[in-house]
Amino acid sequence: MTILWLFTWVPGIQLDPHTYTASTSSTELLHKGRGFIRMSASHRVKTTLCNTSLDNPTQRNKDQLIRAAVKFLDTDTICYRVEEPETLVELQKNEWDPIIEWAEKRYGMEIGSSTSIMGPSIPTQTREVLTSHLASYNMWALQGIEFVVAQLKSMLLTLGLIDLRLTVEQAVLLSRLEEEYQIQKWGNIEWAHDYELQELRARTAAGTLFVHLCSESSTVKHKLLQE
CB crowding 40-55: b at 16 or more within 10 Å, else e: bbbbbbbbbbbebbee
Cis preceding-peptide flag for 85 (omega within 30 of 0): yes
Has residue 22 got a pLDDT over 50? no
Has residue 172 got a pLDDT over 50? yes
Please name every residue paired with 80 in a beta bridge, in sequence order, or none if there are none. 114
> Residue 225 has what pLDDT?
58
Express the helix, strand and coil content of the chain in percent, nearest 5 each.
65, 0, 35
**How far is Cα 75 from Cα 153, in angstroms, rounded to an integer?**
8
Q: pLDDT confidence of 188, banded at 50, 70, 90? A: confident
> Residue 5 has what pLDDT?
34
Cβ proximity of 157 and 166 under 8 Å:
yes
Average pLDDT over residues 187-208: 83
Has residue 51 got a pLDDT over 80? no
Element (H, E) at 221: none
Residues 6 or more apart from 202 whose CB is under 8 A from it?
2, 40, 41, 42, 45
> Residue 217 has what pLDDT?
60
| pTM for the structure as a whole | 0.76
**Residue 120: φ, ψ to 5°:** -75, 155
Q: For residue 103, how many other CB atoms are within 10 A of its CB?
A: 24
Q: For residue 212, how many other CB atoms are within 10 A of its CB?
A: 20
> Residue 191 has what pLDDT?
63
Has residue 151 got a pLDDT over 90? yes
> Residue 14 has what pLDDT?
47
**How far is Cα 94 from Cα 189, in angstroms, rounded to an integer?**
26
Q: What tens digit of pLDDT does each residue of 29-48 get?
A: 334 444 443 455 666 776 77
Q: What tens digit of pLDDT does each residue of 82-120 get?
A: 999 999 999 999 999 999 999 999 999 999 899 988 888
Q: pLDDT confidence of 187, banded at 50, 70, 90? A: confident
